[in-house]
Amino acid sequence: MSEKRPHVAVVGGGLVGALNACFLAKRNFIVDVYEKRDDIRKAEHVKGRSINLALSTRGRTALRMVGLEDVVLKNGIPMHARLIHGVDGSRSPILYGKEDQYIMSVDRRRLNEVLLSAAEASPDVTCHFEHKLATCNFTTGELEFINNEGKRVKNKVDLIVGNDGAFSAVRKEMMKATLLDFQQEYIPHGYMELTIPPSPKDEFQMEVNYLHIWPRNEFMMIALPNLDKSFTCTLFMPFDVFASIKTKEDLMNFFKDKFPDSIPLIGENALKQVYLSSKPLPMVSIKCSPYNVKDKGVIMGDAAHAMVPFYGQGMNAGFEDCIVLNEMLDKYNNDFSKALPAYSEYRKVDDHAICDLAMYNYIEMRESVNSRLFIMRKKLDNLLFSIFPNTWIPLYTMVAFSRIRYHQCIARRKHQDENDMDIHSSSQNDMDIHSLSQNDMDIHSSSQNDVDIHSLSQNDVDIHSSSQNDVDIHSLSQNDVDIHSLSQNDVDIHSSSQNDMDIHSSSQNDMDIHSLDFAMVLTKILQFGGVFLFSAITVSAMQIFYQKGPSIHSLKDSAIELWGHIFNTGNTTYS
């Protein structure tokens, strides 16, 4: 019987390798997993990467497919919202979405243990620890490992799967065997993990069900909760800043300046001790193509696409890789010569897209996101989402809470369903929304405080206002936005090409902004004092939705939230 059953070597018993072994065993393959480290289930301390990770929809879906979602969720902590920490000690929660939209904080080691045990529970899976890949051959399927005694161990298989992480040995072998495009980039930031221990009463020292974020432009810190009531903080800073903080005094001055509220939580002594005795770790972004060599080899997970961790998607993307390979094997009936090239072609656009998104987010946060802006951007996103639930899906929502292909998240706000609307109002504070094509919208207002949005093509928005405090946005092509205002406090945005924007105002409070992202522009409008404008939109929108909207509650909540922020009443502050 073993004649017909494919024999697969999975190189790497990390998160993706162990999950992949589960998927492959379910296909009735014979699987050998080779992991260079010792069995983490026996190890006392595991050095290396982050202690906990954010698991979202893509990763959960993969776990569900091998029957492991429940056990992993039981060992995780839901995070329903971000909690933004200001320098002044303020804390602002911003929901991710509805109740079922949350990310999970999971312990890396525990997750890896669950996955390895599940893989080994199959009689067809054998794990070989302390086996480090030395060489492999994509013509013969032969592999050679060095074990803990320094001895060579050989095997010969039908398929070599590289799940051996960012510095993949399988990938290095592929580069010798095929024309592999390869690109890698280290970013100037490093990261360091710090711990907020449980309180003396053995309780969480901060609100538990949140992703805690301290956005300070180039200095960023996040904290995820652990089951033992501690939090693991990750501090991201440029290496040169890490290096410039040499003494306890430097350190305390820096933390008092940037993250004052975290000092008593981490503990001054622990902070000094950990910071001064550890080295910041590097982060690398790697893209390559193709992912396969003929019918004999394929790389997945970080081996194929290491990314900077600023979207919390590395593991999730790697888990989704397993789903996609599994589907390709189904489609081509386990014919590796068809399934592997198909996998590579299909998946690389998405893996490249999430690498780009993660890098883009890193640059954006580093350059322009402090806590005020973070809150504003997310609240605005939520508001727009509730006004235009089909048109305005926040990017983070698509990435973390859907399985929309990553490259389509970028192409974004593309609508699958035809939810056109026709709303017209002809008097003060009324609104006219008309959509002419699939998911498009047209809002027109002709008097004071009115709003006119007209969209002529897919995903376009057109708002026009002809009198004081009115807004006019007109968009002529896909994803374009045009806002024009003719008088004081008005705003005029005109964009004539895809995703471009042009804002011009000809009187006091004029602006000229060109940006690649609608949310960014709207944020800038708010920043520059165009509060009126949004009051107008929100008031009008609320009136419409009070009468006929299905999502009035979320609309109202997010409008109130945004207003609260603008007028500085939305924050909960703890002293």
Per CB under 6 A, residues contacting ligand EGO are: 54, 82, 103, 211, 213, 220, 222, 236, 309-312, 361, 364-365, 369, 374, 377-378, 396
In sequence order, the 6+-apart residues with CB closer than 8 A to the CB of 211 are: 54, 79, 81, 82, 83, 103, 105, 222, 223, 224
Residue with tokens 């920043």: 527
Give the shortest CB-553-to-ligand FAD separation in angstroms. 31
The radius of gyration of the chain from alpha carbons, rounded to an integer in Å, stands at 26
Would residue 48 be called left, alpha or beta, if left means φ above 0 and alpha means ψ between -120 and 50 degrees?
A: left
Distance CA 284, CA 163 (A): 17
Please choose which of ligand EGO, ligand FAD, none residue 364 contacts, taking the beta carbon within 5 to 8 angstroms, the exact cut-off set by kind: ligand EGO
Whose Cβ is closer to ligand FAD: residue 315's or residue 521's? 315
Site residues for ligand FAD, window 239-298 (CB under 6 A)?
283
243-280 burial, b if ≥16 CB within 10 A, otherwise e? eebeeeeebeebbeebbebbeebbbeeebbeebeeeeb
Among 57, 90, 92, 163, binds ligand FAD (CB under 6 A): 163
Considering the complex, state which of residue 366 and residue 434 has its C-beta at the smaller distance from ligand EGO: 366
x/- binding map, residues 315-334, to ligand FAD, per CB under 6 A?
Answer: xx-x----------------
36 belongs to the binding site for ligand FAD (CB under 6 A): yes
Our CB check for ligand FAD shows the closer of 131 and 484 to be 131
Contacts of 28 (CB under 8 A, 6+ apart): 5, 124
**What element of type H or E holds 358?**
helix 336-368
Phi (first) and psi of residue 285, to 5 degrees: -115, 130
Q: Binds 97, which of ligand FAD, ligand EGO, none (CB < 5 to 8 A, cut-off by type)?
A: none
Distance of alpha carbon 453 from alpha carbon 473, whole angstroms: 6
Half-sphere exposure (Cβ direction) of 460: Cα atoms closer than 13 Å: 30
Strands (E), 197-254: 210-216, 219-225, 231-238
CB of 564 to ligand EGO, least distance (A): 18
> Applying CB under 6 A, does 301 fall inside the site for ligand FAD?
yes
User: In 3-state terms, what secondary structure has residue 419?
Assistant: coil
383 binds ligand FAD per the rule CB under 6 A = no
How many angstroms separate the CA atoms of 386 and 399, rounded?
18
H or E element that contains 182: strand 181-196
Identify the residue among 53, 323, 400, 431 touching ligand FAD (CB under 6 A): 53
- Per CB under 6 A, the list member of 110, 128, 132, 272 interacting with ligand FAD is 132
Residue 377's binding partner out of ligand EGO, ligand FAD, none, with CB under 5 to 8 Å set by partner kind:
ligand EGO
Q: Which one-letter amino acid corresponds to residue 60?
A: R
Distance of closest approach, residue 199 Cβ to ligand EGO, in angstroms: 24
Burial label, 157 (beta-carbon count in 10 A; 0-12, 13-18, 19+) = buried
Shortest spacing between CB 320 and ligand FAD, in angstroms? 10
15 contact choice in ligand FAD, ligand EGO, none (CB below 5 to 8 Å, kind-dependent):
ligand FAD
Shortest reach from residue 573's CB to ligand EGO, in Å: 20
Query: Which residues 6+ apart lie within 8 Å of 471 measured at CB?
Result: 445, 451, 452, 463, 464, 465, 483, 485, 490, 491, 533, 536, 537
Residue 8, beta-bridge partner list: 31, 159
Instruction: Count Cβ atoms below 10 Å from residue 174 Cβ, excluding itself.
Output: 28
Does 119 bind ligand FAD (CB under 6 A)? Our answer is no
Taking the complex as a whole, the smallest distance from the CB of residue 382 to ligand EGO amounts, in Å, to 10
**In sequence order, what are the beta bridge partners of 482?**
462
Three-state secondary structure string covering 469-534: CCEEEEECCCCCEEEEECCCCCEEEEECCCCCCCEEECCCCCCEECCCCHHHHHHHHHHCCCHHHH
Question: Is residue 77 a contact point for ligand FAD (CB under 6 A)?
Answer: no
| C-alpha to C-alpha distance for 510 and 497, rounded to whole angstroms | 22
State the nearest-atom distance from the C-beta of 549 to ligand FAD, in Å: 35
Q: State residue 438 phi and psi, 5-degree precision.
A: -50, 120
The contact pattern for ligand FAD, residues 12-31, with x = CB under 6 A and - = no contact, is: xxxxxx--------------
Q: Which range in 159-167, 238-246, 256-264, 365-373 contacts ligand FAD by CB under 6 A?
A: 159-167
Identity of the residue, 210 or 532, whose beta carbon is nearer to ligand EGO in the bound complex: 210
Q: Which of 141, 314, 341, 570 binds ligand FAD (CB under 6 A)?
A: 314
Stretch that binds ligand FAD, among 135-143, 299-307, 427-435, 526-534 (CB under 6 A): 299-307
The smaller minimum CB distance to ligand EGO, of residues 169 and 365, is found at 365
Identify which of residues 105 and 466 has a Cβ nearer to ligand EGO in the complex. Answer: 105
Q: Which does 374 bind (CB under 5 to 8 A by kind): ligand EGO, ligand FAD, none?
A: ligand EGO
Amino acid at 42: K
C-alpha distances out from residue 101 to 78, 196, 408, 413, Å = 10, 26, 20, 18
Choose among ligand EGO, ligand FAD, none what residue 369 binds, the Cβ cut-off being 5 to 8 Å by kind.
Answer: ligand EGO
Nearer to ligand FAD, 86 or 312 (CB): 312
In the complex with ligand EGO, the residue whose CB is nearer, 104 or 423, is 104
Q: Which residue has the tokens 């003060």?
A: 428
Partner whose binding site includes residue 191, from ligand FAD, ligand EGO, none (CB under 5 to 8 Å by kind) = ligand FAD
**Residue 302: contacted member of ligand EGO, ligand FAD, none (CB under 5 to 8 Å, by partner type):** ligand FAD
Bond prior to 264 in cis (omega within 30° of 0): no
Q: Which residue is nearest to ligand EGO (CB)?
A: 312
Q: 33 or 410: whose CB is closer to ligand EGO?
A: 410
> Where along the sequence are the contacts to ligand FAD (CB under 6 A)?
11-17, 34-37, 49-50, 53-54, 132-133, 163-165, 169, 191, 234, 283, 301-303, 309, 312-316, 318
